[in-house]
Structure 1
Amino acid sequence: MSVQHTTAGWSDALTAALTEAAGDAALVNAARRLIATGSAGPLNVNQGFATTKFPQIDGRVARPRLNVTTLSAQEWDRIEDTITARPDAVDVAGTSAVSDQLADPAHTGGIPLVPASHDIAHTCTCTPEAATSACAHSVALGLLLADRLRTAPAPLFTLRGRPHQHLKKRLRTKDGGSEPRPATAPTPGPVAAHVASPQPVRPAPPTAPIPDPVDLDLTSALPVLNRQLPAPPAPLPDAAVLEALAADAAHRAGTLLDGHEPPLCPDTGSDLARFISLPHGAAFRQAAVDHLGLDIVGMGHLQLAYTHGGPGGAAAYLERFAVDHDLLAHAQAQIQPLRPAATASIECEDNWLTDAAAGIQLRYGPDARWYPYRAPYGTWQPVPGPSADPAQAYRAGRTAGRPQRRPQ
């Protein structure tokens, strides 16, 4: 008989910690009255802090911030090791509805996921005093977050320093799902042009004597070579690889002759995505999979990312990098009018902006464009419509989620 898991315990535990941290029942009651007005802006959850905004009577906007101590990488590793060792790990933690069994530190390696009162600090812009202490706005922010955790506790993982997606990936690996392939020596392929793989050194063939000069007929037709060339000596790639590299160079030259600039790939991964999308590179797909350490699903998503966004799209799929908080804040403001659940939380991590309630994620690429993603099967995958305008990219993400009309 399966156990029915619940999630409300997360909300209760965080509410208790917030109440203790505030230390004033009247302040907590004022925060609840503020929530009841429905005037709160979107709830943004980041690593180590959450934010929102409230309009004030004088026309100004109060911007509270809830700061929470994040867990170290070693603590997170211990938590994940403990969870993944459970036989029912997928049931209790495999979706965003994480079981509140894990709110008990006994089930997370002795490390509490819910912050204690001493892990919580408040700031707000409403008054100078609130810049370093709790106010009704900052306590209301915490209670709003606690209410979100009642049905979807996953944002708590981001708040404490490591998004829930990391744990989900480990659980998929454990179950033999979309697990990364073990690192193996890459098969001979165009990858050798980027990373030289060690090969046994062969003795050099004996040097043939130089033939005597002959008269060449350069005017009449000569037959083409009709036999296979000998294998190139080590450490050169094999003949198939050299032919593919020559075909790739010819393709680039043809692109230039046609008056177009070949795509500039910022890294090896995006260049491999470009190469295997071409006819002469398709045969080396498995070599690219091994080199990048992706699984089959991941390689398919990488090719989609390149198809929809070129090298920038591939780079945004493969690499995460930190961006300025103001850039993320501007993007949030731009997409806010388009969100179907305006008060649902938004998670920010590195260059990722995730609206889990809408099922849309935007990733900021090295080419200053936003790339839309959706997760119809639980894993974020790229969809068409990258744009320098985050609102336009968000619209593309929503459009991609709509069912396609069949022609009459």
Structure 2
Amino acid sequence: MNRYDGDESLERTFAALPPARGKGFARTWWGLAWLKALEDSALDNEQLKAGRRLARAGGVGAVSVRPGRVTAVVQDRDSTHHRADVLLEELSGEQWDRFLDMTAERAGHVAALLDRDMPPHLVEDAAVTGVDLLPGMGELQAECDCGAWDHCAHTAALCYQVARLLDQDPFVLLLLRGRGESALLEDLQARSARGVTPVGAAPEPGGVDAAEAFAAGDILPPLPDLPEPPEEPGVPPSLDTETPPPADTDPAALEYLAARTAAEAHRLLMGTLRAEPHHRAEELPLAQDAVRLALGAPDPAVAERLAEGSGRDREQLALAVRAWRLGGAPGLAVLEEEWAVTGEALARARAALDAAWDEEERPSLRARGNRWTVVGAPAQVRLGRDGRWWPYRKERGRWVPAAGPAQDPATALASVEG
């Protein structure tokens, strides 16, 4: 049920976007997540493909977004115009309460939202409370004056355009779910400040919770300003002393490890100040950990030891470092592992390849395992085990990683060609 009551503060209009020929429809996590939700729940892939062609050609006019509904006029290929509406169920009052209570309890979410940013893991945390922000199977209902009973090319084009709007402003999704940005942020601030013991009142046994004290704002004395963080990580002391090292100690390797530790500590500090999430480091196999350590451009002697310890030569280690820098352990796996795509994974890959380009734009591809090479060009896309596509280009007879992963093969290949 859509409860929009005509309040103009709950309606936003976005100007028509230019054509997007040869480009993916989304670049950010939110836009790509919307497209995945759309394409995973689609009943008619042909209508999706037709809609993508219309959106790519710039056929979607200005888009109006309000709680429960997004609307636009879409120009068909025969130059006729159709009003297209896509409806998404609003969250109930109880669901909003659960979502906002969860968000207010997490300082990182509060800081990000107040800074007009929506962290991607907000979706996962909301799902734990039983609130789905992204549309599920069958949730995107279509209405179009062309007379189609389900999604047609016009409503599909509008859905693809929404992905581009989410690239610009992910708060569009929350507005569709029923809350405008200003009202949401005011409610969030109010919830964050609840439960603080008034000045002069006796605190409960055990004192005031640290999160409540921090949320008190101007009720309690302000916290002292944080010192300015250093722009660069510190430099560990030199081990070049008159005292000879023990026989089993390599000073150059030890200095390098100390420098890497200082750099990692600096990264964690800067992430904390910016309210960025940190994840516990995984235990890596020796061959992978050597690549991770080599990211810091060690001196030749240390690099030689890392290459030898990882079972690679210097050139192979440099290539592995490049892959790691673009995608971590998954990026390294795509570089070094070739696997046979079969069964359901193969069906999904073929569907993605078929849907990625218009018929007249599709390149000729030669497949081997999880690798698709463009015939007659030094370009290749590789499918990772997580379903993402990785672009590669041929340089001096070797395939090397060209950029980070993309959700669809056309976007990945465009980064090679660009």
Q: Same fold (TM over 0.5)?
A: no
TM-score by length of 1: 0.38
Give the structure with higher Rg (CA).
1
Q: TM-score if structure 2 supplies the norm length?
A: 0.37
